A and B are shown apart, each in its own frame.
Chain A
Amino acid sequence: MDKTIKVGMADANVCKSPYAITTLGLGSCVGIVLYDPVCKIAGLAHIMLPDSTKIINNSNKYKFADTGIDILIRDMENIGASKRNLVAKIAGGAQMFSFSNNFEMMRIGERNVIATKDKLNKLGIRLLAEDTGANYGRTIVFYPETGLLHVKSVGKDLKII
């Protein structure tokens, strides 16, 4: 059971089957799983913000959808994954508080999801599945052995995508 690698907020890591990789309590952040089905290598990034170019203080590359994906691919290549094999699954991007006014600050989850998809699209990485939006938190676990992403939420059934 201890064969699960944990990824924190604004962080990323990689793993190879039989290990699994997880991130706990995704809210408006997005968990991006990249997967090389040929060598069963997976990478998971827990990004917080859509765009590194809009922020002056951007030393932590894992914080952003754009730079987070770039660096995650590099990390995966370092352990033997091949960029052209990569496919993606994503989860998160919720709006945790239901505000009456719709200001920009509050729609960050949605913007994180859009930025993630744009970046994947630019890199030609196919998005196989997603569980995004709504108003609740998600814990995700990805199993490189099966290529399945398990999504757990409070008071909801386990979702496998």
Chain B
Amino acid sequence: MSDIDLNGISNMQYDVLREIGNIGAGNATTALSQMINAKISMEVPNVELLEFKELSEIVGGAERIVIGILFTLGGDIDGMMMFMVDQDAGGHLVNLLLGNLQSTYDKDSSEFTEMEQSALNEIGNIIAGAYLSSLSTLTNLTITSSIPYMAIDMAGAILSVPAIEFGKIGDKALLIETEFGNIDKMVNGYFILIPTINSYKAILKSLGL
């Protein structure tokens, strides 16, 4: 029961992780909507357990440029969590958050200004915060997170960081894909939650699994 092997994760554990992703995504949508004062919708997240070699294929190839925003976790559990979007999706989110006043992001200039980077960090903060607060409520565990750390690089390179953490406990990684946006455009975002092995036990135990 408390032996954690992600390869042999039970249906029950899988459902629980998906449900956490679901609730977290819902919370994140509400928070984002409030912040930009417009309706944002979010699809039901898709939870997948992937082999390392498939991991970057699912996000469009290892060389695709993506934005990764990473948080380290503390409190009752240790580990990290990452929110990842591709450049185009990141640009769309920045445009939503900054409105048409500030944002100069367009697809052709792939650089984000300092203002846009800080907007991305804030989006990461909102989404991670919402996700973690749902996890915390469900498990009754205290979970704190660090400030956001951002990197913009090839998907394979960004994903290597969480993949390595998963590598310590198994041969697969758990990826939660969600689609969100406003009426004009929906974009894909990915969450990756990586508790350390002991924290995994703590989470499942507190859920009675």
Contact = CB atoms under 8 A, between A and B. Distances in A.
Interface of A: 8-11, 24-29, 48-49, 55, 57, 59-60, 63, 94, 96-99, 101, 103, 105, 108, 135-139, 154
Interface residues of B, number: 36
- Nearest 7 A-B pairs (CB), nearest first? A25-B156, A137-B157, A8-B53, A27-B160, A27-B157, A25-B62, A24-B62
A118 B2 CA distance: 35
A142 to B, nearest CB: 16
B154 A28 contact: no
28 contacts: A8-B54, A9-B56, A9-B156, A9-B160, A10-B53, A24-B156, A25-B153, A25-B160, A27-B159, A28-B157, A28-B164, A29-B160, A29-B163, A48-B167, A49-B164, A57-B168, A57-B170, A63-B52, A63-B167, A96-B151, A96-B157, A96-B160, A96-B161, A98-B149, A99-B149, A137-B156, A139-B62, A154-B65
Contacts of B167: 10, 48-49, 55, 63
A119 B152 CA distance: 32
Contacts of A96: 68, 151, 153, 157-158, 160-161
B163 A48 contact: yes
Contact of B63 (A8, A10, A24, A136): A24
